[in-house]
């Protein structure tokens, strides 16, 4: 019975249906007025285009957590990830006149993904030590209501093990997995963002998952817990 | 190179990964389902991939420690105005300055080459002629070749010569200009000369009207090689200046 429910949880249909709409810290449940956010963004963009830095900073405030949580999973070194996010906001401000809609969030995300991938390509020859904060408490999830120390330790250990494995696969595979599994973008959206074909996106995700499985073959029990 | 069993295992693993992602349809789906049912390792892999997928989703992200809001200085640097904007464009890593400078320099060099190499003085000879005038010029050359009679070579030569003090100074209707070396023009103007003769009722070997020649000569003067050379030098200097400015700005960190 346990196995059945596990399989059900892993089934694509189940996972997909519980995909992007699943409320998380990064993606809170969508508000009732779904187009209020794009409207607000458009107004702020127009003001920022006219030279209102405060308006652009309101957009930064709205999206910096989202971009950071995306990029920090794509770039193993948190300092480099922060640099990539900063560069993404700089680039967005510099190229604001080129923004044509319809979604500022999508446009910004694309810029951030490109910034993260550019940064990783540039530093490929000088790799930084991956995830220097693995021993740091920052990888611990927020305590919340669950204060059971054993459970917290288990969750933290799980995060560290998985993060180390993610750092060991290729940057392209990592980006595709994060965009698909964590951020909930579909194959076509990822293909546009990363500038590769749909088949390449699928291949990167499949091969990346297989590589993760090879790396974590003896830790699967920990991840199942 | 992987051995055949390894290759098979890798192919099976990819099929299971695609099955787990829900990417298979038709016969591929049936094969992968059969594989999962018949192979215990494949079945275990299928479960593990699902587990990994869920774990990746739940993976915590380190908290953000930096505020990414722009300062006024950032904004001024990122969207400069006036001459700072031009300087920024020159120094930007992906600006269009480099291809532009390359294009200008290439055009300048090519123009200089065309204007200065003697055998390539295209701008002063037949290419400057309009179609009827070209046929006119060819008519005379053809006439000479057909009859074997010496035509008024100096006229033909004068027409073909790109420029020169004598040609420039010659007033309309002036009978002679100092002879220069003949310039071959037949390749350009040879075709269709028979038709032209027929239409005009002219006799081969007869010298042609000179009024058009004089007009042609008058119109030819402003487009001599010197103008091409001058334009080429301007392009070359502009291109090299862009290269130099960009190099200096990038070197200084601007």
pLDDT at A87: 92
The minimal CB distance from B51 to the residues A16, A89, A220 is found for A220
Per-residue pLDDT band for A197 (boundaries 50, 70, 90) equals very high
pLDDT at residue A213 above 90? yes
Measured between CA atoms, how close is B78 to chain A, in angstroms? 5
CB contact (8 A) between residue B53 and residue A10: yes
The mean pLDDT value for A50-74 works out to: 91
Tell me the nearest-neighbour CA distance from A69 into chain B, angstroms.
Answer: 6
Residue with more model confidence, A70 or B6: A70
Residue A157: its pLDDT value, please? 86
Q: Tell which residue, B213, B204, B122, B211, has the closest CA to residue B162.
A: B122
- DSSP assignment of A147-205 equals --HHHHHHHHHHHHHHHHHHHHS-HHHHHHHIIIIIS---HHHHHHHHTS-HHHHHHHH
**pLDDT bucket at A63, cuts 50 / 70 / 90:** very high
Give the residue extent of every domain in chain A.
24-128, 140-225
The SS3 of residue B93 is coil
pLDDT (0 to 100) of residue B117: 75
B69/A60 touch (CB, cutoff 8 Å), yes or no: yes
Of the pLDDT bands very low, low, confident and very high (cuts 50, 70, 90), residue A147 is: low
Contacts of B21 in chain A (CB under 8 A): 12, 202, 205-206, 209
Phi, psi of B31 (to 5 degrees): -65, -45
pTM here is: 0.56
Q: Which two tokens stand for residue B68?
A: 């990414």
Judging contacts by C-beta atoms under 8 Å, the chain B residues touching residue A140 are: 60
Cα(A177)–Cα(A207) distance, integer angstroms: 10
Question: Minimum mean pLDDT among A196-200, A212-216, B142-146: which range?
Answer: B142-146
Q: What is the pLDDT of residue A145?
A: 54
pLDDT of residue B253: 58
Residue B125: what pLDDT? Answer: 46
User: Helix, strand or coil for residue A202?
Assistant: helix
Q: What mean pLDDT, rounded, does chain A reach?
A: 78
- Of B135, B128, B112, nearest to B222 by C-alpha is B128
Alpha carbons B85 and B45: distance in angstroms, whole number: 56
How far apart (Å, rounded) are the C-alpha atoms in residues B36 and B59?
Answer: 28
Instruction: Please give the ipTM for the structure prediction.
Output: 0.71
Whether A140-225 and A24-128 are alike in CATH topology: the answer is no
Confidence check: pLDDT of A212 > 90: yes
Phi, psi dihedrals of residue A114, rounded to the nearest 5°: -65, -40
Supply the pLDDT for residue B177: 43
Q: Which pLDDT score is estimated for A102?
A: 83
Q: Which CATH class is domain A24-128?
A: mainly alpha
CB B53 to CB A89 under 8 A?
A: no
In angstroms, the CA A6 to CA B50 distance is 8
Q: Is the pLDDT of residue A34 over 70?
A: no
- Pull the structure tokens for residue B69: 């809001």
Residues of A in contact with B67 (CB under 8 A): 64
Other CB atoms closer than 10 Å to residue B140's CB: what's the count?
Answer: 26
Check if the beta carbon of residue A71 is closer than 8 Å to that of residue A88.
yes
Selecting from A7, A60, A93 the residue whose C-beta is nearest the C-beta of B78 gives: A93
Domain A140-225 grouped into CATH 1.10.10.10: yes
Tokens of B190: 């040879």
> What span, in angstroms and rounded, lies between the C-alpha atoms of B68 and A83?
10
> Per-residue pLDDT for chain B (254 aa), expressed as one digit of tens each?
445 556 667 888 999 999 999 999 899 999 999 999 998 989 999 999 999 999 998 888 788 888 999 888 888 888 766 676 677 777 777 678 888 999 999 999 999 888 877 665 555 544 444 444 444 444 444 444 444 444 444 444 444 444 444 444 444 444 444 444 444 444 444 444 445 444 554 445 445 545 445 544 444 555 556 888 889 999 999 999 988 888 887 776 54
CA distances from A28 to A23, B62, B249 (A): 5, 18, 46
């Amino acid at each position: 019975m346990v196995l059945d429910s596990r399989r059900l949880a892993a089934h694509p249909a189940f996972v997909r249906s519980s995909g992007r709409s699943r409320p998380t810290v990064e993606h809170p449940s969508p508000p009732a007025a779904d187009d209020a956010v794009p409207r607000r963004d458009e107004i702020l963009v127009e003001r920022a285009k006219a030279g209102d830095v405060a308006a652009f900073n309101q957009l930064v405030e709205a999206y910096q957590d989202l971009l950071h949580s995306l990029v920090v999973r794509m770039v193993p070194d948190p300092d480099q990830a922060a640099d990539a996010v900063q560069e993404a906001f700089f680039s967005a401000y510099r190229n604001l006149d080129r923004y044509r809609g319809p979604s500022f969030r999508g446009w910004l995300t694309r810029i951030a993904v490109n910034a993260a991938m550019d940064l990783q390509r540039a530093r490929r020859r000088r790799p930084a030590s991956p995830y220097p904060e693995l021993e740091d408490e920052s990888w611990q999830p927020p305590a919340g209501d669950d204060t059971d120390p054993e459970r917290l330790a288990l969750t933290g250990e799980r995060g560290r093990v998985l993060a180390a494995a993610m750092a060991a696969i290729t940057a392209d595979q990592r980006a595709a997995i994060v965009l698909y599994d964590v951020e909930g973008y579909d194959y076509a959206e990822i293909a546009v963002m990363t500038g590769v074909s749909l088949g390449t996106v699928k291949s990167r995700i499949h091969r990346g998952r297989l590589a993760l499985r090879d790396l974590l073959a003896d830790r699967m029990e920990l991840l199942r817990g | 190179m992987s051995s055949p069993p390894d290759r098979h295992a890798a192919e099976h693993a990819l099929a299971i990964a695609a099955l787990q992602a829900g990417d298979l349809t038709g016969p591929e789906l049936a094969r992968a389902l059969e594989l999962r049912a018949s192979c215990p390792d494949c079945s275990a892999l299928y479960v593990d991939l699902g587990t990994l997928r869920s774990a990746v989703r739940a993976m915590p992200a380190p908290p953000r420690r930096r505020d990414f809001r722009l300062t006024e200085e950032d904004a001024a640097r990122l969207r400069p105005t006036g001459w700072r904007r031009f300087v920024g464009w020159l120094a930007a890593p992906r600006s269009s300055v480099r291809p532009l400078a390359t294009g200008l320099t290439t055009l300048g060099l090519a123009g200089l080459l065309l204007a200065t190499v003697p055998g390539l003085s295209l701008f002063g000879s037949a290419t400057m002629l309009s179609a009827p005038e070209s046929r006119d010029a060819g008519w005379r050359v053809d006439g000479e070749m057909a009859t074997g009679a010496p035509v008024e070579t100096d006229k033909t030569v004068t027409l073909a010569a790109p420029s020169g003090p004598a040609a420039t100074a010659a007033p309309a209707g002036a009978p002679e200009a100092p002879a220069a070396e003949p310039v071959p023009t037949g390749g350009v103007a040879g075709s269709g000369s028979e038709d032209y003769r027929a239409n005009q009722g002219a006799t081969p070997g007869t010298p042609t009207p000179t009024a058009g020649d004089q007009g042609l000569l008058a119109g030819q003067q402003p487009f001599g090689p010197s103008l091409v050379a001058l334009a080429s030098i301007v392009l070359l200097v502009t291109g090299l200046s862009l290269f130099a400015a960009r190099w200096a700005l990038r070197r200084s960190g601007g």
